């Protein structure tokens, strides 16, 4: 039997690339799109090394309908789409809000239109726990309301979910699962694939590993005076491979038993809240490396505390996180060391 083709936008990015590996492992045929605006081509080599498969890849921008049309025409029958291609940094979105709205909203609109033109009806959308804003209570389940987004990035994810929900209501054939990620960290355990920001990292763990590798002078922890036990923000750090595997479970469900409603959404986290400072200390413990860090001012746009109640994903997708944050930090460091050819 021919394996099912899944289009993966942003497939050369951090989450997309790890998901491509898991799609291959589960017998799917991923078709990758990326424009390398925020990703590095070498991740594609990593996928090939891990899987031993030749990749089907198109370079282009998801806001470009003509480009998307060309890919859909060339590929013929696609069973579904996973849409990872988007900007993802809270801090950057505060600085460049229009760029975030322009890219994240327009790419989704173009993609859904082109999917419909080609009768492709199954979509997995990369959403985020930022849709909940600053939640009233933690852990956060899927019934928590969307509070005002703390950043333009979070607002784009709220808007995209609204667009998808409306599109599904108007179209009986369209089926969408939004996966609300908490904080994906770590790397593939082979150290062949990991997070590779194209310039100065915005996210915590690549900043930690680059500081440990002496590429950055010092990690600044953004805010030590929050209303949390140690004063730093609390997050739910989930191993990237766990997150990638959840996508396979979600597409299995969409293409298999289906979803009860045309639109479904799941929190993807471990269910454990860890502070930024705790994570930094775990990194030092797990790796034994020295890390230059200090507590600095708060960063605009940050939610103070959030972690997931992942029960819905467990019950309906038969998925739960298997790795710990320590595993993820060990793997992130192994990846950084391999990348920089370090022997420490
Ligand atoms: N963070 C930090 N220093 C950094 C980068 C991030 O203290 O150099 C903090 C950030 O303020 C937040 C947490 O780490 O509390 C996670 O941030 P990240 O950008 O990785 O993910 P987010 O939660 O914003 O999606």
Ligand 1: residue whose CA is nearest its atom 19: 203
What is the DSSP code string of 91-154?
Answer: HHHHH-HHHHHHHHHHHHHHHHHHHHHTT--EEEEEEEGGGG-S-SSSSB-TTS--PPPSSHHH
Looking at residue 301, its pLDDT comes to 84
Looking at residue 180, its pLDDT comes to 98
Nearest to 11 by CA among 95, 65, 71, 70: 71
- Note whether 130 and 91 are within 8 A (CB): no
Looking at residue 344, its pLDDT comes to 64
Ligand 1: residue whose CA is nearest its atom 18: 203
> Which SS3 state, helix, strand or coil, does residue 212 take?
helix
Q: Annotated catalytic sites, by residue? A: 153
Taking the domains of the chain in order of start, what are their residue ranges? 5-185+238-269+309-322
Helix axes of 325-340 and 276-287: crossing angle, nearest 10 degrees: 60
Looking at residue 268, its pLDDT comes to 98
Q: Which atom of ligand 1 is nearest to the CA of 221?
A: 7
- Note whether 274 and 228 are within 8 A (CB): no
* Model confidence, pTM: 0.97
The pLDDT tens digits for 65-76 are 999 999 999 999
- Note whether 160 and 108 are within 8 A (CB): yes
**What spacing in Å lies between the alpha carbon of 58 and ligand 1's midpoint?**
31
Nearest to 100 by CA among 151, 152, 160, 162: 152
The pLDDT tens digits for 100-128 are 999 999 999 999 999 999 999 999 999 99
Q: Does 293 sit in the ligand 1 pocket, CB within 6 Å?
A: no
Mean of pLDDT values over 316-335:
98
Mean of pLDDT values over 278-292:
97
What percentage of the chain has pLDDT greater than the value 70?
Answer: 99
5-185+238-269+309-322 maps to CATH 3.40.50.1370: no
Distances from the Cα of 336 to the Cα of 186, 231, 286, angstroms:
10, 28, 14
Q: Does 233 sit in the ligand 1 pocket, CB within 6 Å?
A: yes
Ligand 1: residue whose CA is nearest its atom 23: 183
């Amino acid at each position: 039997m021919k394996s099912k083709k899944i289009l993966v936008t942003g497939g050369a990015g951090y989450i997309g690339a790890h998901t491509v590996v898991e799609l291959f492992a589960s017998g799917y045929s991923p078709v990758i799109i990326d424009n390398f605006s925020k990703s590095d081509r070498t991740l594609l080599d990593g996928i090939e090394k891990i899987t031993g498969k030749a990749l089907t890849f198109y370079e282009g921008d998801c806001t470009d309908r003509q480009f998307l049309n060309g890919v859909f025409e060339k590929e013929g029958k696609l069973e579904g789409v996973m849409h990872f291609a988007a900007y993802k940094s809270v801090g950057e979105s505060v600085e460049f809000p229009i760029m975030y709205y322009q890219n994240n909203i327009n790419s989704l609109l173009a993609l859904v239109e082109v999917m419909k033109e080609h009768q492709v009806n199954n979509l997995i959308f990369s959403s985020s726990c930022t849709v909940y804003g600053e939640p009233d209570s933690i852990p956060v389940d899927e019934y928590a309301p969307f509070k005002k987004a703390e950043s333009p990035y979070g607002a784009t994810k709220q808007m995209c979910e609204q667009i998808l929900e409306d599109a599904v209501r108007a179209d009986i054939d369209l089926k969408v699962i939004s996966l609300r990620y908490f904080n994906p960290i770590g790397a593939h355990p082979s150290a062949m694939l990991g997070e590779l920001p194209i310039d100065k990292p915005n996210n915590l763990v690549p900043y930690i590993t680059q500081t440990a590798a002496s590429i950055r002078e010092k990690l600044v922890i953004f805010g030590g005076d929050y209303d949390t036990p140690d004063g730093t923000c609390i997050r739910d750090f989930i191993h990237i491979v766990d997150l990638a595997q959840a996508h396979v479970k979600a597409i299995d469900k969409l293409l298999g038993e289906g979803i009860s409603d045309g639109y479904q959404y799941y929190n993807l986290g471990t269910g454990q809240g860890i502070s930024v400072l705790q994570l930094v200390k775990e990194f030092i413990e797990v790796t034994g490396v020295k890390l230059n860090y200090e507590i600095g001012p708060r960063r605009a746009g940050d939610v103070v505390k959030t972690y997931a109640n992942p029960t819905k994903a467990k019950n309906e997708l038969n998925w739960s996180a298997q790795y710990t944050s320590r595993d993820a930090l060990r793997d992130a460091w192994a990846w950084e060391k391999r990348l920089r050819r370090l022997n420490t």
